[in-house]
A and B are shown apart, each in its own frame.
Chain A
């Protein structure tokens, strides 16, 4: 789940992680009022969408840039008016762009130096790791690639928690001194508390800035949350903005389906995540392009198949569907009956290739063949992928 920048700011405030003064606005008037309240020498207005590249983006009304600086609080309202209710296109949004419904107005602080600071779950050690660098404000993967000596890593013992000496090591390695060193130490400690308290799997601050007067502030942040732990953080779940998500993925989550939309034309419907990935790979291997990842779970009930068909049908790129089910515990004939009923109920007209294997498979194949529907059977996954690709 992604969150907006102003929501990240709210979380930082809650855990005493310092960031520039700022607030979200939904109207030009609100934006102007916030600007006057902040009363800084330089202010920034940022369009709130879940996509990177905002600064270099273009609005469909011709206005350039989703991030603007100004010294005049009165001008904030005009800038916000050109953003709100308009569609912003960036390199990450695709041609359709994103509707901007909120902007953030903040103090554009003076910067002495930019750093990089993140906390993530390290799979190799099964521990949280702090990653820091003096090379802030740029692509950290590029820094890691070309100047690995500039990347500092500190793994944290999950039961003991972040220790004072670990903070001091980081502080020294980044070269913070005096008041800024103290500020940085406080920020890291609170950031770790935020990370563990909210079940994050990533918090990335880039850049973390030091101001000429010794403040250390989180200027921009990216959050990742563990979906499995959202049940214990209703306030974080409430940050979910379905307007920013693929509507097909939103619909899938209502049916308890695991769905990810892709660009191809062959949809697939599979039981099990591993097999679903392998099915996408098989489509590609057969010369086609998968339209989605879709795991219906272990069961593949009639209701789920109907839900899945409706989502697949809403994707205009789809030209064929491949169903790949390994009926382990479940009877293949029950699955086949569900598929037939789902085709009939949804009035599906797309070519449909079905590969069934497992428990009572002969009866299942018989049910599909006797249905009178245009369903192509397949021997195995490779065969199914070939037939699906050939059908478009």
Chain B
């Protein structure tokens, strides 16, 4: 078990013929991901070739789904076309859409989110590193890698990791692996102010996943998603949780790289998030170097 994706998940990539999408599609194939289709309007009938792999490219998502049975889509299309690409995947009945694209206008995401209410599709991201469920092969291959994370830092195991940020996720994954433990699934939910899936959504999935024994939740300044998740954890979560919040030294009113990382009107501060997490019994690391240590403390290892 794992959450969201496993080694059997059939994945398509929207924007597979672009440089960025193609590069990471190749890395996902190397990792063992069941990447069954690519979609680029106007390039239907071509193939995406990588080593011995030959992945068919379709003009539309619905055609790709019909021909290959893909249930998950990774979106690498440029920002002006990304909202349209997400909606196309929703319309085609894709169960899980992972939007890697950074820089989608907030107004577009607001409409996408509203449109998706009540649909059967879950959106992860946008502006996220993606999802990895490690496999049992060398360097954790044989699992499912969707997005841009380095595969080899993972190891199959029982720690669930979630974060808004890419490199902070990798830090946590690497520390857990270096300590000799592994991950059930790692999810980057993205750094934008409006995203498809929240910290709380992922915490609930980890809590229900029998393979996940402990959780690392990484947050950053802006919004109140971490506080919401902490409140739920306090009441309902039956697994040990460690955490970290980035941005304690960020000046108010400035966006710190991520569109969503901003303290405005005194809301979304690192102090408030850390306090809410500590109050929920989460072991909060003071620096990202100590995320692994905090996990072991929470987990009693």
Contact = CB atoms under 8 A, between A and B. Distances in A.
Given A277-B221, A326-B167, A141 B265 contact: yes
A326 B248 contact: no
Interface stretch (B85-93, B106-114, B275-283): B106-114
A228 interface: yes
B261 A229 contact: no
A283 B248 CA distance: 11
Interface in B76-117: 79-80, 103-111, 113-115
Given A274-B166, A274-B220, A298-B166, A229 B287 contact: no
Interface string B193-233: 11000000000000000000000001011111000000000
Interface string B229-249: 000000000000000101111
B103 A260 contact: no
Interface stretch (A21-29, A176-184, A379-387): A379-387
B118 to A, nearest CB: 12
A interface secondary structure, majority: mixed
Nearest to A294: B257
A24 B124 CA distance: 46
B250 A275 contact: no
A295 B221 CA distance: 16
Choose among B106, B166, B194, B286 the residue with the greatest number of A CB atoms under 10 Å from its CB.
Answer: B106
A280 to B, nearest CB: 5
A148 to B, nearest CB: 13
B105 A381 contact: no
Interface string A329-368: 1000000000000000000000000000111000000000
Contacts, number: 167
B279 to A, nearest CB: 20
B106 A199 contact: yes
Contact of B249 (A231, A290, A295, A380): A290
A228 B165 contact: no
B250 A277 contact: yes
Nearest to A195: B107
Contact of A274 (B27, B168, B249): B168
B107 A229 contact: yes
Contacts of A226: 105-107, 259
Contacts of A86: none
Choose among A274, A278, A280 the residue with the greatest number of B CB atoms under 10 Å from its CB.
Answer: A274
Given A141-B266, A280-B249, A284-B249, A159 B114 contact: yes
B260 interface: yes
A33 interface: no
Given A271-B167, A282-B288, A359-B152, A277 B115 contact: no
A382 B289 contact: yes
B270 to A, nearest CB: 8
Contacts of A30: none
Interface residues of B, number: 61
Contacts of A277: 220-221, 246-247, 249-250, 256-257, 261
Contact of A358 (B170, B193, B261): B170
A385 B249 CA distance: 14
A235 interface: no
Interface in B148-169: 148-150, 152-153, 163-168
Contacts of A272: 165-168, 257
B264 to A, nearest CB: 9
A295 B246 CA distance: 14
Interface stretch (A105-113, A121-129, A167-175): A121-129
A373 interface: no
Contacts of B149: 328
Nearest to B168: A274
Given A228-B105, A277-B261, A358-B153, A293 B250 contact: yes
Shortest beta-carbon contacts, A-B, top 5 = A274-B165, A273-B257, A272-B167, A229-B105, A328-B150
13 contacts: A271-B167, A272-B257, A274-B163, A274-B257, A275-B288, A278-B244, A278-B287, A280-B250, A298-B148, A328-B166, A328-B170, A329-B148, A359-B152
